Amino acid sequence: MNIHEYQAKALLREFGVAVPRGVAILKASDADLATDELGGPVWVVKSQIHAGGRGKGKFKEASAGDKGGVRVTKSSSEVNQFVKQMLGATLVTEQTGPAGKQVNRLYIEEGSEIDKEFYLSILVDRETSEVSFVVSTEGGVNIEEVAHKTPEKIVTFSVDPATGIMGHHGRTVAKALGLSGDLAKQAGKLVAQLYTAFVAKDMAMLEINPLVVTKHGDLRVLDAKVSFDDNALYRHPDVVALRDETEEDAKEIEASKYDLNYITLDGTIGCMVNGAGLAMATMDIIKLYGLAPANFLDVGGGADKNKVTAAFKIITADPNVKGILINIFGGIMKCDIIAEGVVAAVKEVGLKVPLVVRLEGTNVEAGKKIIADAGLNVVAGDNLDDSAQKIVKAVKGA
Ligand code: ADP
Ligand code: MG
């Protein structure tokens, strides 16, 4: 789960992290209150969307102006003007895709006088199974590009969970960023605070880009992007409360209500599969035969008729889906249950695209009979290979 920058900053503040003061607003009429409260002399108006690259982003609407999604100004009336321009407009950045994201919240923040911009992130390194830091002097820019062109400018290390964060970690960060004296001390403190926050809140990633040194000699977190480990959310109702569903894919929200593992992708073949491994294999084979999956969907081992019907509805409601491949191995899950769910769903929502069903395993004959008896326009697949070829052919031929 992701949260907005202003929420991430408020959360980090609880752990003592130095972040600029700011006020989040949902409507333009609150802009004056925010500017008054912050007092200036410099304000920054920041679009709050779950995507980075906002500063260099462009709004779709000409009326929103061409100053990007993060705007610095010394005039409170200009703050007002920016707020009116940006709220409700659609911001396109490197990370939003061409459709962009509507800006429904703004964060008005006190401006910092920036001397240097750094990069710092924390994530779980799957190789070492430890929490790792990534630090670079090249902040404020695309870190993937830095990693590609000048990998020597990136310093990484991981933290042994048995010892937790130690003094030498802070010194490593200070050295990597070329900080000494009081700034090195600030870095040590910050590194410890961030690590504590990361572990306490079960974060999956914490990215600060940029981390800045101000002209007054302060180390400050100027941007913060946080995502949480979904499997640990049950321990953090305070984090769950920060969820902004308008930022999430409606289909994925619907799927989560039925406990389905669903992720929207950009292909045209809707997939309904049980088991993550089989789902991956199904997606691979669709690609092998020349098309791409419209989603990842694992209905899980214990799916019942309701779950299957819900899953089918989510797939058919997606206008990008031009064909559906159902690939079920009946182990714990029985093929006849799946078949009943499919038939119920087709009868309820109709079927406008080709559907190939491949069933194998427990009660497979009963399952096939249910589908055959229902008289639906369904193509039976004999095995995975055959099924993938059939659905690709049906869609390409259509
Ligand atoms: P994004 O990464 O989505 O573009 P950032 O929050 O990193 O958004 O903002 C982009 C740039 O705007 C930063 O690299 C920084 O130069 C500037 N900026 C952001 N917040 C402030 C602030 N409070 N004061 C001064 N400049 C800021
Ligand atoms: Mg940034």
Chain segment 95-110, per-residue pLDDT in tens? 998 889 999 999 999 9
332 among annotated binding-site residues: yes
Pocket of ligand 1 (CB under 6 A): 20, 44, 46, 52-55, 70, 72, 109, 111-112, 114, 117, 140, 209-210, 222-223
Question: Which ligand has the shortest distance to the CA of 221?
Answer: 1
Q: Average pLDDT over the chain, rounded to whole?
A: 93
Chain segment 299-346, per-residue pLDDT in tens? 887 777 788 888 999 999 899 999 999 998 888 778 888 888 889 888
Mean per-residue pLDDT, 179-203: 98
Q: Is there a single domain that holds both residue 200 and residue 130?
A: yes
Q: Is there a single domain that holds both residue 232 and residue 259?
A: no
CB 45 within 8 A of CB 83: yes
Q: Output the residue whose Cα is nearest ligand 1's atom 20.
A: 222
Chain-centroid distance of CA 39 in Å reads 34
On whether residue 8 sits in a domain, the answer given is no
Q: Is there a single domain that holds both residue 142 and residue 98?
A: no
Half-sphere exposure of 311 (CA within 13 A, CB side): 30
How many angstroms separate the CA atoms of 355 and 380, rounded? 9
Chain segment 125-151, per-residue pLDDT in tens? 999 999 999 999 999 878 888 888 999
**Tally of domains in the chain:** 3
Closest ligand 1 atom, residue 22 Cα: 23
Question: Which ligand has the shortest distance to the CA of 140?
Answer: 1
pLDDT at 348 over 90: no
Question: Residue 224: what pLDDT?
Answer: 97
- Give the residue, out of 47, 48, 70, 136, with the most ligand 1 atoms within 8 A of its beta carbon, to mutate for a pocket test: 70
On whether residue 15 sits in a domain, the answer given is no
CATH code of the domain containing 181:
3.30.470.20
Q: Is there a single domain that holds both residue 374 and residue 293?
A: yes
Q: Output the residue whose Cα is nearest ligand 1's atom 11.
A: 55
Question: Residue 332: what pLDDT?
Answer: 78
Domain end point (choices 110, 144, 174): 110
Its pTM stands at 0.82
Q: Predicted confidence band at 376 (pLDDT cuts at 50, 70, 90)?
A: confident
Chain segment 210-244, per-residue pLDDT in tens? 999 999 999 999 999 999 999 999 999 999 999 99
CATH code of the domain containing 40:
3.30.1490.20
Question: Which ligand has the shortest distance to the CA of 209?
Answer: 2
Per DSSP bridges, beta strands 295-298 and 261-264 are: antiparallel
Sign of CA dihedral 143, 247, 13, 226: negative
- Residue of 69, 51, 52 whose CA lies nearest to 60: 69
Q: Is there a single domain that holds both residue 260 and residue 306?
A: yes
On whether residue 178 sits in a domain, the answer given is yes
Q: Is there a single domain that holds both residue 53 and residue 146?
A: no
Per DSSP bridges, beta strands 323-330 and 355-361 are: parallel
Question: Residue 123: what pLDDT?
Answer: 97
Q: Output the residue whose Cα is nearest ligand 1's atom 5.
A: 223
On whether residue 345 sits in a domain, the answer given is yes
Q: Output the residue whose Cα is nearest ligand 1's atom 7.
A: 223
Structure tokens at 245: 């569903």
Closest ligand 1 atom, residue 57 Cα: 4
272 among annotated binding-site residues: no
On whether residue 316 sits in a domain, the answer given is yes
Question: Residue 12: what pLDDT?
Answer: 98
Question: Measured in angstroms, how far is the CA atom of residue 15 from the centroid of ligand 2?
Answer: 21
How many angstroms separate the CA atoms of 354 and 130, rounded? 46
Question: Residue 257: what pLDDT?
Answer: 86
209 among annotated binding-site residues: yes
On whether residue 157 sits in a domain, the answer given is yes
Catalytic (active-site) positions:
119, 207
Question: Measured in angstroms, how far is the CA atom of residue 120 from the centroid of ligand 1?
Answer: 14
Closest ligand 1 atom, residue 209 Cα: 7
Domain end point (choices 84, 110, 136): 110
How many angstroms separate the CA atoms of 346 and 374, rounded? 10
Chain segment 246-304, per-residue pLDDT in tens? 898 888 888 988 889 899 999 999 999 988 999 999 999 999 999 999 999 998 877 77
Q: Is there a single domain that holds both residue 52 and residue 119?
A: no
Domain that holds residue 214: 114-239
Q: Is there a single domain that holds both residue 325 and residue 376?
A: yes
On whether residue 100 sits in a domain, the answer given is yes
- Percent of residues, the chain, with pLDDT higher than 70: 100
CATH code of the domain containing 257:
3.40.50.261
Question: Measured in angstroms, how far is the CA atom of residue 238 from the centroid of ligand 2?
Answer: 25
Closest ligand 1 atom, residue 51 Cα: 3
Q: Is there a single domain that holds both residue 226 and residue 179?
A: yes
Question: Residue 306: what pLDDT?
Answer: 84
112 among annotated binding-site residues: yes
Question: Residue 391: what pLDDT?
Answer: 97
Q: Is there a single domain that holds both residue 264 and residue 348?
A: yes
On whether residue 12 sits in a domain, the answer given is no
Q: Is there a single domain that holds both residue 135 and residue 72?
A: no
Domain end point (choices 110, 144, 170): 110
Question: Residue 398: what pLDDT?
Answer: 66
Question: Residue 22: what pLDDT?
Answer: 97
Q: How many CB atoms lie within 10 A of CB 148?
A: 9
pLDDT at 389 over 80: yes
Question: Measured in angstroms, how far is the CA atom of residue 52 from the centroid of ligand 2?
Answer: 6
Q: Classify burial at 312, counting beta carbons within 10 Å of its beta carbon; exposed 0-12, middle 13-18, buried 19 or more.
A: buried
Chain segment 8-39, per-residue pLDDT in tens? 999 999 999 999 999 999 999 999 999 999 99
274 among annotated binding-site residues: yes
Q: Is there a single domain that holds both residue 181 and residue 232?
A: yes
